[in-house]
Amino acid sequence: MKGVNYWLVLCANIALSNCKKYDQTIPWMGGLRLAEDQNRIFKNGASQLDGYKEKSYHQSGNALDVVPYHKGKADYKCEKGFREFAKCMFNAWQYIQKRYPQARRYRLEYGGHWMNFVDNPHWQLIEIAL
Ligand SMILES: [Zn+2]
């Protein structure tokens, strides 16, 4: 989680410690990415952002991927695991927003809620223009 937004890391850590039913892991390239990393992921079809013309929140350290971990590997098909973690994550974010006014300039967005390109592992913080 090196180079990732402080509040996002805090949120994920709280969620991970509260989420007991399914193990979770941060997959390869799930944190901070360079433009060439993002471009490689784009070329593999796992993202719609090419890293140059269209940048990912991973490139600014404002995104983190978390995936259910089962039998020694990341399990992208574990819907229940994603759902449990999402619940823990939104609860943790609510707690952080209540407790730390500094975190209120961000909004937590979940890729699992996107309509056009569902990205179940993906979490990002969007800075709110005040
Ligand atoms: Zn992501």
Q: What domains are defined for the chain?
A: 6-127 (3.30.1380.10)
pLDDT digits (tens, 9 = 90+) for 33-54: 999 999 999 999 989 999 999 9
**120 Cα: distance to centroid of ligand 1 (angstroms):** 9
What's the gap in Å between 80 CA and the centre of ligand 1? 19
Whole-number pLDDT of residue 1: 87
CB neighbourhood size of 119 (10 A) = 17
**Average pLDDT, stretch 21-28?**
94
Mean pLDDT, the chain, as a whole number?
Answer: 96
**Cα dist from 36 to 28, 48, 76, 98, 111, whole Å:** 14, 14, 23, 37, 22
Residue 115 half-sphere exposure toward CB, CA atoms < 13 A: 0
Q: pLDDT tens digits, residue range 74-93? A: 999 999 999 999 999 999 99
63 alpha carbon to ligand 1 midpoint, in Å?
A: 6
User: What is the distance in A from the centroid of ligand 1 to the CA of 53?
Assistant: 17
